[in-house]
Structure 1
Amino acid sequence: MAATTDTGRPSTKGIFAASFIGTSIEWYDYYIFGTAAALAFGSLFFPASSSFAGTLAAFATFAVGFLARPIGAAVIGHFGDRVGRKSMLILTLVLTGGATFLIGVLPTYAAIGIGAPLLLVALRIAQGFGVGGEWGGAILIATEHASPRRRAVYGSFAQFGVPMGVLTSNLAFLAVSGMSDDAFLSYGWRIPFLLSLLLVILGIVVRSRLRDAPEFERVKQRNAVSKVPFAELARRQPRNLTLASLASIAPPAVGYTVIVYMLTYGTTVVGFPRGTLLTLILISTVVWIGTIIASAALSDRYGSKRLYIIGALTAVLWPLPMFGLVNTGSEGLALLAFTVAAIVQGIMAGAQGGLFTEIFDVRFRYSGISIAYQLGGMIGGALTPIVATILFESYRSSTAIALYVAGLSLVSLVSVFGVRKIAPAEGEPSDVSDVRTNT
Structure 2
Amino acid sequence: MAEPATPTRPSKKTLFVASLVGTSIEWYDYYIFGTAAALAFGSVFYPKFSSAAGTLAAFATFAVGFVARPLGGAIVGHFGDRIGRRSMLVLTLLLTGGTTTLIGVLPTYAAIGVGAPVLLVLLRVLQGFGVGGEWGGAVLIATEHATPRRRAVYGSFAQFGVPVGVLTSNLAFLAVSGLADEEFLSWGWRIPFLLSVVLVVGGLLVRTRLRDAPEFTKAEPARRAPFVELVRTQPATLVLASLASIAPPAIGYTVTVYMLTYGTTVVGFDRTTLLSLILASTAVWIATIVVAAVASDRFGARRVYVLGAVTAVLWPVPMFLLVDSGNAALAFVSFAVAALVQGIMAGAQGALFTEIFAVRVRYSGISIAYQLGGMIGGAVTPIVATALFGASGSSTAVALYVAALALVSLVGVAGLRVRRPASQQETPDLAARPPA
Q: With structure 2 as the length reference, what TM-score do the two structures score?
A: 0.95
- Of the three residues 286, 290, 295, the one matched with 1:289 is 286
- Of the three residues 385, 390, 409, the one matched with 2:387 is 390
**RMSD of aligned Cα (Å):** 1.5
Shift of residue 284 of structure 1?
Answer: 0.2
Shift of residue 420 of structure 1?
Answer: 1.6
- Of the three residues 324, 327, 337, the one matched with 1:327 is 324
Matched, 1:206 2:203: no
- Counterpart of 1:19 in structure 2 is 19
Shift of residue 9 of structure 1?
Answer: 1.7
- Of the three residues 225, 242, 245, the one matched with 2:242 is 245
Q: Within 5 Å, give how 1:160-309 maps onto structure 2.
A: 160-219=160-219, 224-309=221-306
- Counterpart of 1:360 in structure 2 is 357
Q: State the AA in 2 paired with 1:149.
A: R
Shift of residue 421 of structure 1?
Answer: 1.6
Deviation per CA, 1:202-256, whole angstroms, max 9, x where unpaired? 101100010001100102xxx5344400000000000110000000000000000
Using the alignment, how far apart are the partners of 1:427 and 1:49 within structure 2? 58
Structure 1 contact 140–155 (Cα < 8 Å) conserved: yes
Using the alignment, how far apart are the partners of 2:79 and 2:126 within structure 1? 17
Deviation per CA, 1:173-194, whole angstroms, max 9, x where unpaired? 0000010001100100000000
Shift of residue 315 of structure 1?
Answer: 0.3
Deviation per CA, 1:100-136, whole angstroms, max 9, x where unpaired? 0000000000000000000000000000000000000
Using the alignment, how far apart are the partners of 1:164 and 1:136 within structure 2? 18
- Counterpart of 2:97 in structure 1 is 97
Using the alignment, how far apart are the partners of 1:258 and 1:26 within structure 2? 19
Shift of residue 404 of structure 1?
Answer: 0.0
Shift of residue 423 of structure 1?
Answer: 3.8
Shift of residue 429 of structure 1?
Answer: 10
Q: Tell me the secondary structure at the aligned position of residue 195 of structure 2.
A: helix
Q: State the AA in 2 paired with 1:102.
A: L
- Counterpart of 1:411 in structure 2 is 408
Shift of residue 81 of structure 1?
Answer: 0.1
Q: State the AA in 1 paired with 2:155.
A: G
Structure 1 contact 361–422 (Cα < 8 Å) conserved: no
Using the alignment, how far apart are the partners of 1:378 and 1:429 within structure 2? 30
Structure 1 contact 96–126 (Cα < 8 Å) conserved: yes
- Counterpart of 1:381 in structure 2 is 378
Structure 2 contact 81–221 (Cα < 8 Å) conserved: no
Deviation per CA, 1:248-273, whole angstroms, max 9, x where unpaired? 00000000000000000000000000
Give unpaired runs (5+ residues) of structure 1. Answer: 1-5, 431-439
Q: Tell me the secondary structure at the aligned position of residue 218 of structure 2.
A: helix
Matched, 1:337 2:334: yes
Using the alignment, how far apart are the partners of 1:343 and 1:176 within structure 2? 28
Structure 1 contact 144–213 (Cα < 8 Å) conserved: yes
Deviation per CA, 1:358-381, whole angstroms, max 9, x where unpaired? 000000000000000000000000
Q: State the AA in 2 paired with 1:359.
A: I
Q: State the AA in 2 paired with 1:84.
A: G
Q: State the AA in 2 paired with 1:315.
A: A
- Counterpart of 2:33 in structure 1 is 33
- Counterpart of 1:434 in structure 2 is none
Deviation per CA, 1:317-350, whole angstroms, max 9, x where unpaired? 0000000000000000000000000000000000
Q: With structure 1 as the length reference, what TM-score do the two structures score?
A: 0.95
Using the alignment, how far apart are the partners of 1:181 and 1:422 within structure 2? 56
Using the alignment, how far apart are the partners of 2:360 and 2:196 within structure 1? 33
Q: State the AA in 2 paired with 1:336.
A: V
- Counterpart of 1:131 in structure 2 is 131
**What's the % identity of the aligned pairs?**
73
Structure 2 contact 316–403 (Cα < 8 Å) conserved: yes
Deviation per CA, 1:271-301, whole angstroms, max 9, x where unpaired? 0000000000000001100000000000000
Using the alignment, how far apart are the partners of 1:7 and 1:130 within structure 2? 29
- Counterpart of 1:144 in structure 2 is 144
Shift of residue 427 of structure 1?
Answer: 7.5
Structure 2 contact 319–334 (Cα < 8 Å) conserved: yes
Deviation per CA, 1:299-321, whole angstroms, max 9, x where unpaired? 00000000000000000000000
Using the alignment, how far apart are the partners of 2:164 and 2:93 within structure 1? 16
Structure 1 contact 226–363 (Cα < 8 Å) conserved: no
Structure 2 contact 148–423 (Cα < 8 Å) conserved: no
Deviation per CA, 1:65-104, whole angstroms, max 9, x where unpaired? 0000000000000000000000000000011000000000
Using the alignment, how far apart are the partners of 1:269 and 1:321 within structure 2? 17
- Counterpart of 2:117 in structure 1 is 117
Structure 1 contact 78–230 (Cα < 8 Å) conserved: yes
- Counterpart of 1:62 in structure 2 is 62
Aligned positions, number? 423
Q: State the AA in 2 paired with 1:61.
A: T
Structure 1 contact 215–428 (Cα < 8 Å) conserved: no
Deviation per CA, 1:136-159, whole angstroms, max 9, x where unpaired? 000000000011110000000000
Matched, 1:311 2:308: yes
Deviant stretches of 4+, over 4 Å? 424-430
Give unpaired runs (5+ residues) of structure 2. Answer: 1-5, 428-436
Using the alignment, how far apart are the partners of 1:167 and 1:419 within structure 2? 32
Shift of residue 172 of structure 1?
Answer: 0.1
Using the alignment, how far apart are the partners of 1:131 and 1:424 within structure 2? 30
Q: Tell me the secondary structure at the aligned position of residue 417 of structure 1.
A: helix
Structure 1 contact 362–425 (Cα < 8 Å) conserved: no
